[in-house]
Amino acid sequence: MMPTLRRRDYLKTLAGSLGGLSLGGPRSSAFAAAPAESPAKKSIAAIVTVYHHNSHADVLLTKILEGWKHDGGPGPALSLASMYVEQFPKGDMARDMSAKHGVPMFESIEQAITVGSDGIPVDGVILIGEHGNYPWNEKEQHLYPRRRFFAETTDTFAKYGRVVPVFHDKHPGPQWDDAKWMYDRAREMKVPFMAGSSLPVSFREPDLSIPMGSELEGAVGIGYSGLDVYGFHALECYQAFVERRRGAEQGVKSVQFHEGPDVWRVLDDGTVSGELFEAALAATPHRGKVDPRDDPRSALFLFEYVDGFTGALFMLQTVNRSAVAVKLSNESEPRACHFAERPEPRYPHFAYLLKAIERMMHTGRPTYRVERTMLTAGILDRALTSRHEGGRKLDTPELQIAYEPVDYPHAPQPDLLLQP
């Protein structure tokens, strides 16, 4: 079992490390002009699979190079010191951006992290193993080189005797054994390690949050598109809500994949709340007027938490956003929202993710728990394993991941300093 991390201790340490650093006022925008006394920029090495228009490298790294809106305006207190780019497909931006901004590109991860020197001069590393021509396995997981990127990064730390913070875009893995190896390696080497989706910090429509320590009666999530690529985003959004229930998080003890009539049977027999499903569905933008019960592609990740809470994420192709509905014990009606993925200005939800990365690079500590991402990565891997094994229910002692969440804000409030 992974160790329990106590929120009050974490925040006390974080507040001390922040000192006088200010990243903006309580209602400020990530796109606002920098304050008069901006913190000095921290230098970053970027290790990426590909860098083309609207790739994850573009919507993160271009904000460092050309501002939050990619228009030459203000941006984060970060500078891009070097890049390692593995593939150069048609439409590649890496070479042009390297030349335009004077950012050297290197042929190995070690060279990028050392910037061609005999030490590690950068303040942090961003790993983006997303997009590109990589194989798929029998479970339909896209086998990006995330473990290899992290292994070569940490091998470089070991070789040169210096550790710096690492942010890993999306989830480690994608296979559980690789994700767990990465987590254990980070703990062994004391690497400040953070990962995750941009959507938990994105805009919510309508704007919705619940207090930490809520008495949560139930929750239902909805996701869309590919089970692997977007199932992770939807699970991260779901976990960002349910981790706030009373008692913090102890992890998940079983996972099962459902498809076909079994998806709707769990609603009809009351295993999952029909009221919460309908609330989540009503909050989600739809593709046409097709009833999801008529769509044979509908699927369900059903999982049970250690504390007995039921987790349910419906993957539907009749919608085009992720959503969550929750029911608090002291309220008569559920609350629900969807997570906005606005394309302009230049996918702003990635700006809010970059604000969290920026803070980590300045404080030297993860802005929020990597354990949340480890848990969602594990649920996803086990759901796809259950699917591959004909929907068998899987016991998951390896997912008994205990942690206490951090009350980090979502858009449009990315700059609130966490208080102890």
Q: Yes or no: say if 195 and 370 are a contact pair by the CB < 8 Å rule.
A: yes
**How many C-beta neighbours within 10 Å does residue 164 have?**
21
pLDDT score at 29: 45
For residue 339, what are the CA distances in angstroms to 27, 128, 205, 290, 299? 20, 22, 6, 21, 20
The model's confidence at residue 288, banded by pLDDT at 50, 70 and 90, is confident
pLDDT score at 37: 60
The rounded mean pLDDT for the chain is 90
Tell me the per-residue pLDDT of 23-34, one tens digit each, with 9 for 90 and over. 223 333 444 444
pLDDT score at 415: 61
Task: Give the residue with greater pLDDT, 287 vs 258.
Answer: 258
Mean local confidence (pLDDT), 267-272: 96
Q: Yes or no: say if 399 and 251 are a contact pair by the CB < 8 Å rule.
A: yes
Tell me the per-residue pLDDT of 138-182, one tens digit each, with 9 for 90 and over. 999 999 999 999 999 999 999 999 999 999 999 999 999 999 999
pLDDT score at 248: 83
pLDDT score at 84: 98
The model's confidence at residue 13, banded by pLDDT at 50, 70 and 90, is very low
Tell me what percent of the residues of the chain surpass a pLDDT of 90: 86
* Domains along the chain with CATH numbers: 1-23+199-347+368-405 (3.30.360), 40-196 (3.40.50.720)
Mean local confidence (pLDDT), 2-31: 37
Residue 356 scores a pLDDT above 60 = yes
